[in-house]
């Protein structure tokens, strides 16, 4: 093992680490001489520079496998790392105006640490590394959730998130230890080979079950979703965006890797009329529960962030439908959807961040008449929300279409998975209702106060760029889709 190779392969992560320390140090030096707002900007710029540097390095990276398959760099992981870094950039940009308190350097450094964890998670193909990366991500997010120092809600959310997260980590680790015990390896690819050789054993089933439960917590599917609404509502809004996007992308990526590499050959079936206990059936049940409960619970929410939390639970359900297809198309559709979903959600939370601070809250009523008060951001919100609802020609529509298509394709002769698709489509009709309720508040209701809201230009432009990306991915999904499909086949 050449240390230079190691360093080169991890250069993007290293540069983020450096940026984090620079942001910390500079903020320490500036904290007495500068205003809070200026410190936010300076630290934010350092973080952004580091992140952009990471993107540049990522683009140039050559495929390499490190430490005997512990960390893998290939085109697919590079794409996902770029996505994670881009989401972090957006998180930082929407954070700059947000009052996170006086610990400015710590805030941005923690965001960057979280991003490093997500990047490692994307690369990891070894159980211990996966676990460590996941913990790095989660711990950063717990801390960030609590950043509203004065707000009790934020503290409560953080404690809840932490308790649930810690328990889920225990589940995950327990499952991994069994997996190691059964297969004798911690390397995902070696595990896959061992499973193929031995076939299914009861212990293996237990192992996979526990791993699924662990990941279920991380991606917030029913019945492991209870932390999500509180954490989403209580956390500072940019952090909510980060939790809902960056960590989801990384978690789903590694979960898909688990499914494709180790679950695929396992017994179990979710085909209608052939339902057999096993991991697919478990996934199917979780998918149905998430789609139904997430969407129905979202209808009665009065808080936009809470509503988006339930909607994200529902979206995790949709993604599970593609995931349990366990095919190349299925994995492609999951990857495509996760990317589109993350962009869309980040945009939506970005608009919520920008507006809620100026109107004093993030309940539905606070958004009344927003179309008049902030027409541009309202238009962007319209695009993001409709993309979440799956309305063409936006990315969310195509992503959902492709997810469901992948599920039908899995058994295209007998339409074994069509029942899941039917539930999914029925539930997305339900989801249109509450998405329209939000848009109704923004576009139809009259505002009590018609004063125009001023938002910084850089924020508007950034969010507009995200909206354009969402539209582009809907109008022309082929390039990204072909890219992903090509690389998934290499998995």
Q: Rule CB under 8 A: which residues touch other proteins?
A: 371, 386, 391-393, 397, 401-402, 404-405, 408-409, 412, 415, 418, 421-422, 425-426, 428-429, 432-433, 436, 439-440, 443-444, 477-478, 481-482, 485
CB closer to other proteins, 21 vs 415: 415
Q: Least distance from C-beta 457 to other proteins, angstroms? A: 18
> CA 238, CA 353: separation in Å to the nearest integer?
7
CB closer to other proteins, 50 vs 477: 477
CB closer to other proteins, 142 vs 397: 397
Q: Least distance from C-beta 404 to other proteins, angstroms? A: 7
CB closer to other proteins, 249 vs 391: 391
CB closer to other proteins, 274 vs 440: 440
Q: Least distance from C-beta 375 to other proteins, angstroms? A: 9
Residue 347: closest CA among 386, 307, 295, 297: 386
Give the tokens for residue 393: 């020609």
> CA 302, CA 307: separation in Å to the nearest integer?
7
Q: Least distance from C-beta 443 to other proteins, angstroms? A: 6
Secondary structure element (H or E) that encloses residue 65, with its range: strand 64-66
Q: Least distance from C-beta 478 to other proteins, angstroms? A: 5
Q: Least distance from C-beta 440 to other proteins, angstroms? A: 6
260: Cβ contacts below 8 Å, ≥ 6 apart: 326, 331, 488, 491
Give the tokens for residue 201: 């054993």
CB closer to other proteins, 119 vs 421: 421
Residue pair 392/312 in contact (Cβ under 8 Å)? The answer is: no
Residue pair 206/178 in contact (Cβ under 8 Å)? The answer is: yes
- Backbone torsions φ then ψ of 172, nearest 5 degrees: -60, -45
Q: Least distance from C-beta 8 to other proteins, angstroms? A: 34
> CA 44, CA 31: separation in Å to the nearest integer?
14
CB closer to other proteins, 194 vs 436: 436
Residue 435: closest CA among 399, 401, 374, 385: 385
Separation in Å, CA 218 to CA 245, 251, 278, 452: 12, 7, 21, 39
């Amino acid at each position: 093992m050449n240390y230079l190779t190691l360093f080169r392969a991890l250069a993007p992560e290293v540069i983020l680490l450096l940026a984090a320390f620079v942001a910390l140090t500079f903020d320490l030096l500036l904290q007495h001489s500068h205003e809070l707002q200026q410190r936010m900007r300076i630290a934010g710029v350092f973080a952004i520079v580091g992140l952009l540097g990471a993107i540049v390095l990522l683009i140039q990276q050559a495929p390499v496998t490190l430490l005997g398959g512990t960390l893998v760099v290939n085109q697919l992981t590079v794409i996902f790392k770029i996505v994670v870094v881009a989401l972090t950039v957006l998180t930082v940009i929407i954070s700059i105006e947000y009052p996170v308190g006086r610990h400015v350097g710590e805030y941005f450094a923690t965001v960057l640490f979280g991003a490093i964890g997500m990047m490692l998670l994307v690369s990891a193909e070894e159980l211990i590394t996966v676990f460590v990366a996941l913990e790095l991500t989660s711990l950063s997010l717990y801390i960030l959730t609590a950043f509203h120092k004065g707000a009790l809600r934020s503290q409560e959310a953080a404690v809840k998130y932490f308790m649930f997260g810690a328990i889920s980590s225990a589940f995950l680790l327990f499952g991994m230890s069994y997996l190691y015990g059964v297969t004798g390896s911690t390397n995902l690819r070696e595990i896959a080979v061992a499973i193929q050789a031995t076939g299914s054993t009861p212990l293996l089933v237990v192992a996979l079950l526990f791993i699924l439960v662990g990941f279920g917590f991380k991606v917030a599917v029913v019945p492991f979703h209870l932390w999500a609404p509180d954490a989403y509502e209580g956390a500072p809004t940019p952090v909510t965006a980060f939790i809902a996007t960056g960590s989801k992308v990384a978690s789903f990526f590694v979960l898909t890797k688990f499914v494709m590499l180790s679950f695929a050959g396992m017994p179990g079936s979710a085909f209608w009329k052939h339902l057999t206990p096993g991991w697919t059936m478990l996934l199917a049940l979780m998918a149905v529960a998430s789609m139904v409960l997430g969407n129905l619970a979202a209808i009665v929410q009065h808080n936009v962030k809470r509503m988006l939390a339930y909607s994200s639970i529902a979206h995790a359900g949709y993604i599970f439908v593609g995931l349990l297809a366990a095919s190349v198309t299925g994995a492609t559709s999951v990857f495509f959807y996760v990317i589109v979903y993350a962009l869309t959600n980040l945009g939506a939370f970005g608009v919520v961040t920008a507006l809620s601070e100026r109107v004093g809250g993030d309940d539905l009523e606070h958004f009344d008449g927003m179309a008049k008060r902030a027409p541009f951001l309202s238009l962007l919100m319209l695009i993001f929300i409709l993309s979440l609802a799956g309305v063409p020609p936006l990315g969310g529509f195509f992503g959902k279409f492709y997810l469901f298509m992948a599920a039908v394709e899995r058994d295209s002769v007998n339409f074994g998975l069509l029942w899941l698709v039917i539930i999914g489509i029925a539930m997305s009709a339900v989801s249109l209702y509450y998405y329209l309720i939000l848009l109704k508040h923004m576009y139809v209701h009259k505002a009590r106060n018609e004063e125009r809201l001023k938002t910084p230009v850089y924020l508007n432009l950034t969010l507009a760029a995200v909206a354009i990306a969402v539209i582009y991915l809907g109008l022309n999904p082929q390039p990204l889709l072909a890219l992903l499909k090509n690389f998934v086949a290499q998995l």
